[in-house]
A and B are shown apart, each in its own frame.
Chain A
Amino acid sequence: MATADDLKFQEFDDAANLLAANPDATTISIDEPVEIPKNQHSRLQEPGREEDDELLGTDDSDKTELLAGQKKSAPFWTFEYYQTFFDVDTYQVLDRIKGSVFPVPGKNFVRLYIRSNPDLYGPFWICATLVFTIAVSGNLSNFFIHLGKPTYHYVPEFRKVSIAATTIYAYAWLVPLALWGFLMWRNSKVMNIVSYSFLEIVCVYGYSLFIYIPTAMLWIIPQKVVRWVLVVFSLCLSGSVLVMTFWPAVRDDNRRIAVATVATILLLHALLAVGCLVGHCHSFSLTS
């Protein structure tokens, strides 16, 4: 029942009472930077942020980490602990591969596909397949280039396999480690950076390498232009998966650091792609 007091014009000093009633509300003041608390259920958010919550899942990120901790409760020296990293079915792996090859704009790969069930099956076997695909298609394209020359002696090149394996596995493990460490560090400085778990980052990187497998198979085509077009195309696809995963996470940081982070991610990815192409074309054989 409306009283006369309720119909009175509200004074500004009621804002303090309002804030006391709803402590999670966002306050905006002109002098200070916007501070948005981690728990973002408040209705006073800008409308754009809700979409990012969907992207980041910040409302359940705390729960997710708790769940992840509960799931992997076996001690790390038991076999069951490592079985939790392989708790995927065939259709899940195929879905994740599909998600990495056809990135949906605006959808975060981690939230959409991984959903706190990161697996090591995909990253490990995609890297293994990539190593052997590069080696085999490298041998094949070498063979076709020199086809017909009587002095050419075909040799399978095992050094190439070793170098490719070292490079690709190092990339798939060390770069996520560095990125994870970086995100954790930024998380301690700026409250609302979402830090993915290490395995989720490994997962994203592993699945993003899948597009290079058909690309490596197509590198048999001897035209240089075709090969570089393929490199650029696959780089765009897998790079976009990485960007859409990590941009929402670092966007709230200092602008320059955020841009630098994403740029470094893309640069390393491009270096790997170019390195794969160079390794593919380079022949270790001394006879030609």
Chain B
Amino acid sequence: MDEKRWACSITGDQCWGSCSGTYSNLRKPSVLMPPSVCSPLQLFLPVPHSRMLQGGSADSKDDGGPQFAEVFVIIWFGAVVITLNSKLLGGTISFFQSLCVLGYCVMPLTVAMLVCRLVLLAGAGTVSFIIRLIVVGAMFGWSTLASTAFLADSQPPNRKALVVYPIFLFYFVISWMILTFTPQ
């Protein structure tokens, strides 16, 4: 199997693997996700997320809605900080693997974002809010559980909660941004 196919099949597995919480292929020592493959893919995942969250026109700075750069920075900065936190607490996961997992696990929330936008097209009343709340809540739970399943295992057992909490906070903030987003 040539290098490219190998890499693509791995990333396909990775993507589904991260979201379904099964990481057996990530653990194999021969499958060290090369940063060159991981980063571009992961780079593009938050981009549609941020684009969809971008509110209003770019020159109306006062509307307070999230601009593309803000969302992008939050997601990337948050992922880096959580990875650093996990490593400082003594985790055995590699830096890029952790960034990888966190990036991929934003995918359910991207799906939630899509659904929210579609629901908002139908109307912005109480019913739509409840639907959005349920969808975002479910996706938030999925993202957190999926990334926790991987990242917590690489920690010593008495520090698992210390690693899980920042991940929870990270996805909570993203979920909050999604839930409160209303296009003008």
Contacts and interface: CB of A to CB of B under 8 A. Distances in A.
A93 B162 CA distance: 8
A82 B90 CA distance: 11
A interface, over-half SS: helix
Contacts of A88: 159, 162
Contact of B180 (A91, A156, A159, A287): A156
Contact of A155 (B63, B70, B88, B166): B63
B90 to A, nearest CB: 7
Contact of A153 (B169, B177, B181, B182): B182
21 contacts: A79-B87, A83-B88, A86-B85, A86-B88, A88-B159, A88-B162, A90-B159, A90-B160, A90-B161, A125-B85, A125-B169, A139-B180, A155-B55, A155-B65, A155-B182, A156-B180, A156-B181, A158-B64, A158-B67, A158-B70, A286-B63
Given A83-B88, A86-B89, A132-B173, A157 B64 contact: yes
A286 to B, nearest CB: 5
B72 to A, nearest CB: 13
Contacts of B172: 132
B interface, over-half SS: helix
Most chain B CB within a 10 A radius of its CB, from A89, A139, A155, A287: A155
Given A90-B162, A153-B182, A136 B176 contact: yes
B165 interface: yes
B89 A121 contact: yes
Interface residues of A, number: 28
Contact of B169 (A90, A128, A139): A128
Given A125-B165, A156-B180, A82 B88 contact: yes
Contacts of B160: 90
Contacts of A284: 64
A129 B64 contact: no
Nearest to A121: B162
A285 B184 CA distance: 13
B141 interface: no
A128 B110 CA distance: 23
Nearest to B166: A125
Nearest to A133: B169
B86 to A, nearest CB: 10
